[in-house]
Structure 1
Amino acid sequence: MQILLVEDDHKAARLLARGLEEEGYTVTVAHAAQDVEAADLARADLAILDWMLPGKDGVTLCGEWRRRGLQTPVLMLTARDAVADRITGLNTGADDYLTKPFEFDELLARVRALLRRSVRTQPVLLQVADLCIDPQTHAVHRGGASLDLTPKEYAILDFLVQHVGEVVSRLQLAEHVWHADLIAIDNLIDVHMKNLRRKVDAPGNEPLIATVRGRGFRLAAPGESDA
């Protein structure tokens, strides 16, 4: 599942993203309203939105999303705990409201509840050739056999599936899966990609994940790969 996190506190955003990724979610982080990319917003199954953002605040941003017809569930984070503030946030279009400071377990419970209620979590299986992914349960099967993926391996595979047929660069993986600089985790990408390919493209299976020399990686059905 894809989560868009809009939080101007870089340390808090990093900690929240890490915790959510450890639970198997793919997290895209933005630190201001103007940093939110349309593609990331379109792919998001849930948005976690801080009220106090630089420039355009979270309430204004949420209101704009709703006026545009965007139905993505929104969890609003804020230090404002007055009843009037909660009412303002909810009336603007937020689906839930969590005041700071909060326990991560409570945020996680609210995230899960919102995703369960969202019409976007209706069981829709993603499939590439005989590789089948359930975004709701994070179950992955290849040729009917269950694959036991780590959270990071699932996050990589999910990102590749979201860009099926396209070349995904190492920099994109570094930013969207680890939220880190490529130089810092380049070797880590190799380790996780090797383990992922060992499971997805096990002996007897036609390779789905290809290395595109000098460019990155590509997930595609047999016969459609560059490598």
Structure 2
Amino acid sequence: MIVEDDAAVRTAVGDYLRAAGYAVTAVADGGRARTELADHTPDVVVLDRMLPIVGGDVLCGEIRQHSPQVMVIMLTALDSVAQRISGLEHGADDYLVKPFSMRELHLRIETLLRRGQKSPLVPMELGPFRIDPARRIAFLHNTAIELTTREYELLLFLMRHPDEVLTRDDILREVWGWTFGEASTVTVHVRRLREKIEPEPRFPRYLLTEWGAGYRFTVGDVAARADKVPGTGAGR
């Protein structure tokens, strides 16, 4: 689904993606998009941030609440780091700054879909965490965690590398498929994942920050110690 109020951009993107073999629904405002999303669930929404009737940030939040498996690429004319972080914090999986290359948008969509189809061959368990690959659902203490596709892939990657220090570049490359990118993308998604898996996100037990290096996922004694010492492992 393309949600874009600029008719020229909406038509150009729609034509390009249809020629690439995608089934495309294109709408001009957030209100129409809300109606369409109530009737069917697309795999990917290409979402302009500045929309009439219902804004892109609001619509992205609604998609995250009702259809967390839908992947969202946010389009924005605002090229500051703060604006990109803000879009990610509203739940976007990826972003592109206008003007953008059609080829790049196509590659970003392909990457999201390809990574959305990946799963371990067998169920995974690590401490209180469990992943059911058939349903692409993660559990914490046998309770399902509502994760977006990107958050699921991030947790899966972390569980595959317990107690390893992973840099933001490692995570961008393996989870996003990017050889370069904005490190704040990882920071925002780590924060969002912590809000869903940590008893107290400000003092994480499982997803720890290794200052100056990256992140480490642990369910062992280190996590227990971090829970007892305020500030250990907390931060960006």
| TM-score after normalising by structure 1 | 0.49
How high is the TM-score relative to the length of structure 2?
0.47
